[in-house]
Amino acid sequence: MPAAERHAIAERIYMNECAGKAENLVTWSAGEQFPSLGIGHFIWYPAGYHGPFDESFPALLRFMRAHRVSLPPWLAKRPGQPAPWSDRHAFEIAAQHDPRISGLRRFLLSTTSVQAAFMAERMKRALPRILRAAPKLRRSYIRRQFLRLAKAPGGYYPLIDYVNFKGEGTSPSERYHGKGWGLLQVLDRMAGQGPPRAAFADAAAWVLNRRVRLSPPARHEKRWLPGWLKRVRTYVAGPS
């Protein structure tokens, strides 16, 4: 992926996840058991917590070390350490005075292009897992749509963003009534004709609407749908 395209994707995802604000590069959302960091809101679990989602921040740090990115000293000493805050309350107190948080925000703001490269690598690794999880009769079609989009101008952005946004769609635990909402389901729904970015965006909107329709009423997922649909519409225009 050319450096200019990687930079444009990084900026677009930064807007998608963080509204383009540096303070949103290190956050702990209400109702979550972990902080989220970076342009992709990568998950970092505190000590003793094991959640259902892929813990992606330690993987990002390993990627950075492999690409000779200098980490903040306290992370470089123990790159595999758990998040240093036990819960959201402790994080909010620390955010007022802990230099690690402000330092992390500066570090993550200065490495957005590397984070986009990490997300691109994650997207590439997703395809074999998606194909293994797909019904045998649909594998060829799904692979064809993935490659059709990847080869299209600006096609990396929707693939990279969506797999970071809603996952691969391969986990049985991330489904409502047996129906998932990840990249697998979008590629399977994607029309085989027409401009591939528009076809992908239409399929993503359909899959997300289905997710909300099947979601438990207590989760009130309908409140998130307008923002989700606004995000997938950016896939048609591309990252710039």
Q: What's the pLDDT tens digit per position in 12-60?
A: 999 999 999 999 999 998 888 999 999 999 999 999 998 777 789 999 9
Say yes or no to pLDDT of 240 above 80.
no
- Predicted pLDDT of residue 31: 81
pLDDT band at 102 (very low <50, low <70, confident <90, very high): very high
Distance of alpha carbon 111 from alpha carbon 163, whole angstroms = 20
pLDDT band at 99 (very low <50, low <70, confident <90, very high): very high
* Same domain flag for 100 and 193: no
**Integer Rg of the chain from CA:** 18
| Report field, pTM of the whole predicted structure over 0.75 | yes
Number of domains, the chain: 2
Distance of alpha carbon 180 from alpha carbon 192, whole angstroms = 20
* Same domain flag for 104 and 164: no
* Same domain flag for 96 and 176: no
Q: What is the mean pLDDT of the chain?
A: 93
* Percent of the chain surpassing pLDDT 70: 100
The residue range of the domain holding 106 is 3-113
Q: Which of 128, 181, 130, 190 minimizes the C-alpha distance to 155?
A: 190
124 falls within a domain: no
* Same domain flag for 42 and 94: yes
Q: Would you state the structure tokens that stand for residue 200, as one six-digit string?
A: 């992908």
36 falls within a domain: yes
Distance of alpha carbon 60 from alpha carbon 65, whole angstroms = 9
Give 187-213 as a DSSP string: HHHS-SSS-HHHHHHHHHHHHHHHHHH
125 falls within a domain: no
42 falls within a domain: yes
